[in-house]
Amino acid sequence: MNSSNETKPKATSGTASAIVNDDEEFNSFEGTRFYFYLDEKTNRWYISGASDEDHLGQYQYISLWLPNEGDVVKKTYAIVDDHGAQGKANASWTKATSSSFRPYTAISGSVTVTLNSNLQTVESTFEFAAQSGSKTVSLTQGEMKLQGFTEDKKARASGLVACNLSESINERYESNETGFNKRGETGSFPAYLQAWSRQFTSKPDFKDYVLSINIAEGLSRGTYSFSPESKQVRLFFFHILEGFVWSAESGTVTFNSIPDFEAIKGKLSGTFNFVGTAELGDGSQLVLRADNGSFNLEQ
C-alpha cells in the first residue's frame, strides 16, 4: 500500500501533436499532460497525451497501446481495432468535458516507435482512422515524444463493482479490475475522487466495459442523485469496443463509507442504480439501465 507522500503521479514530460480531420469541433491536437508506463496486466506499453480545455470546457486526448517487445528502434506496428491481436498496436482519440466522454476507437492506421526502457523515453509517429458509432475521424501527422515513466497513475484497489444491466446491454457487470484516481477541477465539476472499475474478458467472449463514479472532494456519507449537472456525483459507463459512453441522467448512489481524499486510503462501499443515455452520430440515443448495483473497494 502506498504511503501518502507517494500518491501523486511522477510526471511524464514531452510533446504531442496531430492534425484532426473530419471533426466539426477540433482540427488539431496539442498535448500538455502525458502518461507513459508498462501495463503489467496486459504486458503492453501505454502512452497518451491530453490537451488543455478550450473556452467551452472541451479537451482531447490520444492514447496508444503498444506491444512490449523490449527496446525497439523505428519499428512500425499496424494499428487495428482488435485489442487481442498479437504484435499489433491499438489507438483512440477522445473528446470530453467534465460531463461527457466520447472515445473514437482506431480501426486502421500505423505507428512507428523508438522506445528505450532504460532511458525511459519513447518517440512515435502515427496516423489512424477512428470510429465512434456512425462517425469517423482521422488523425494525421501525429507525433508523440515522452520521457519519464508515470508512476502511481492509478491507485489499485481490491474489491468488486457489480450491477445488472438492461436495455442496450443485457447482462451482469462484474468488475475484475478496480482502482482510484484523484482528479482536479474540470469545467463545472470540482476536484474529485474517481472510483473506476473494468470488466475485461478476452476472446471468444471479448468484452471491455468501464464504470466510473466521480465523487466531489469533501463529500460525506449519504444518498445522492445522479444528473449530468450534479456537482456532487456523476457516473459514466463505457463500452470500449463499440465506442459508446452512457452518462447517468437519473438514479441514486448511497455511500456507506468513503476513502480519505488526500491519501486515497480506506474503503468505498455502497449501492447504486441509474438510467443513462448514449448519443449516436445520427442524433438518436441508446438507453442503459443498471439495477441492484453495489461497490466495495479498498486501497
pLDDT one-digit tens code per residue, 259-270: 888 877 889 999
Q: Which helix (H) or strand (E) holds 48?
A: strand 44-50
Distances (CA, A) of 109 to 112, 125, 137: 11, 11, 12
Q: Interior CA angle at 64 toward 61 and 70, to 5°?
A: 145
Distances (CA, A) of 246 to 73, 116, 233, 274: 40, 38, 15, 10
- The Cα 16–Cα 31 span in angstroms is 5
- Looking at residue 204, its pLDDT comes to 60
pLDDT band of residue 116 (cuts 50, 70, 90) is: very high
Whether residue 5 has pLDDT greater than 50: no
- If we measure between CA atoms, which residue out of 48, 26, 39 comes closest to residue 144? 48
Q: What's this model's pTM, rounded to 2 decimal places? A: 0.62
Task: Choose the most confident range, by mean pLDDT, from 3-12, 82-91, 100-109, 276-285.
Answer: 82-91
Instruction: Decide: residue 202, CB within 10 A, 0-12 exposed, 13-18 middle, 19+ buried.
Output: exposed
Is the CB of residue 292 less than 8 Å from the CB of residue 164?
yes
SS3 call for 6 = helix
Whether residue 102 has pLDDT greater than 80: no
Residue range 129-140: mean pLDDT, rounded: 89
Q: Taking the chain, what is the end-to-end CA distance rounded to the nearest angstrom?
A: 7
Give the DSSP letter string of 94-150.
Answer: EEEETTEEEEEEEEEEEEEEEEETTTTEEEEEEEEEEEETTEEEEEEEEEEEEES--
Is the CB of residue 275 less than 8 Å from the CB of residue 288?
yes
- Looking at residue 291, its pLDDT comes to 97
- The Cα 219–Cα 67 span in angstroms is 40
Give the residue carrying C-alpha cell 500538455.
32
- Looking at residue 1, its pLDDT comes to 30
Whether residue 157 has pLDDT greater than 70: no
Task: Choose the most confident range, by mean pLDDT, from 9-18, 147-156, 248-257, 258-267.
Answer: 248-257
Q: What letter does residue 4 receive in the DSSP assignment?
A: G
In the chain the domains, ranked by start, together with CATH numbers, are 7-147 (2.40.128), 155-298 (no CATH)
Give the count of beta carbons closer than 10 Å to the beta carbon of residue 259: 21
pLDDT one-digit tens code per residue, 189-247: 888 888 988 887 765 666 778 899 999 999 999 999 999 889 999 999 988 767 678 98
- The Cα 270–Cα 7 span in angstroms is 24
pLDDT one-digit tens code per residue, 54-75: 877 788 989 999 999 999 999 9
- The Cα 230–Cα 270 span in angstroms is 19
Whether residue 103 has pLDDT greater than 80: no
Whether residue 154 has pLDDT greater than 50: no
